[in-house]
Amino acid sequence: MREAPLLLRWDDNVCRLTLNRPQQGNALSRDLLDALDAALDDCAARPPACLVIDGAGRHFCTGFDLSGLADETGDSLLARFTRIELLLQRVARAPYPTIAVAHGRTMGAGADLFAACAVRIAVAGASFAFPGWRGFGLVLGSRRLAARIGTDRARDWIERACVIADTEALAAGLATARVEAAPATFTAPVANALDGPLAGALDGNAELDDARDLAALVRSAACAGLQQRLTAYVNRQAEARQAR
């Protein structure tokens, strides 16, 4: 029997979501996106004291699931990336505290998911990267990243698609804390308990920003040749691994 792509459990009033595709680096597949959306629906019906997102296996999340590209079209890929942006917006605007716990590799849409959370814990040895723009010309999560670390640094990280170590992520503000090992249990973070509803109330541009983020993604993804750009990126990554 195939394991569920997402594990959901409640510890009292804390909801914990564990990305559960460890053999694929917890990459965001259709099934995993479906499960995450369903879990957020559950949280909308039963708001938790806080929502924790972590990953099974060696990595938190290695981003968009790039397997099966030969069966994709530009339209189907655009639809999948749009779903990810809408998911990120749901997390970023959640009316309860959100906590991401990242270990191992946290890349692309996985790094965007990390950045969307109010409390962002980097486990020692974690690394982060935002390869979408340089790798295949996709804009995803850029404004949220800039809000965390500043526009100039966000532009630099995105344009270079560099790997950011846990200590640099903490110093820059991408991570709000660094720990030697992932915590076993969580309680609602007092300092950030009002982040969701208060941030939404204070940010009068929230809806406009979300609409602009979605529009920027669609424009970048709708450019001709998205499937070919992604395939070329995958091939370059494979060649780089072979050359090491």
| Residue 103 φ then ψ, to 5° | -135, 160
CATH code of the domain in which 29 resides: 3.90.226.10
* pLDDT of res. 94: 93
Q: From CA 200, how far away is CA 150, in angstroms rounded?
A: 20
Is residue 212 assigned to a domain?
no
Is residue 159 assigned to a domain?
yes
Is 200's pLDDT higher than 80?
A: no
Q: Which domain holds residue 94?
A: 6-184
Q: From CA 188, how far away is CA 198, in angstroms rounded?
A: 15
Question: Percent of the chain having pLDDT more than 70?
Answer: 93
Beta-ladder partners of 9: 16
* pLDDT of res. 4: 96
Q: From CA 147, how far away is CA 239, in angstroms rounded?
A: 34
Is residue 221 assigned to a domain?
no
Is 202's pLDDT higher than 70?
A: no
Is residue 13 assigned to a domain?
yes
Is residue 197 assigned to a domain?
no
Q: How confident is the model at residue 224 (pLDDT cuts 50, 70, 90)?
A: confident
Strands 98-102 and 127-129: unpaired
Is residue 206 assigned to a domain?
no
Among 120, 176, 129, 132, smallest CA distance to 157 is for: 129
Is residue 179 assigned to a domain?
yes
pTM higher than 0.85:
yes
Residue 60 belongs to what H/E stretch?
none
Number of domains composing the chain: 1
Stretch among 27-31, 136-140, 189-193, 236-240 having the lowest mean pLDDT: 189-193
User: Which whole number is the average pLDDT over 95-109?
Assistant: 96
Q: Assess contact for 28 and 59: CB atoms under 8 A.
A: no
Taking each helix axis from N to C end, the angle separating 142-149 and 151-160, rounded to the nearest 10 degrees, works out to 130
Is residue 127 assigned to a domain?
yes
* pLDDT of res. 174: 98
Stretch among 30-44, 76-90, 104-118, 196-210 having the lowest mean pLDDT: 196-210
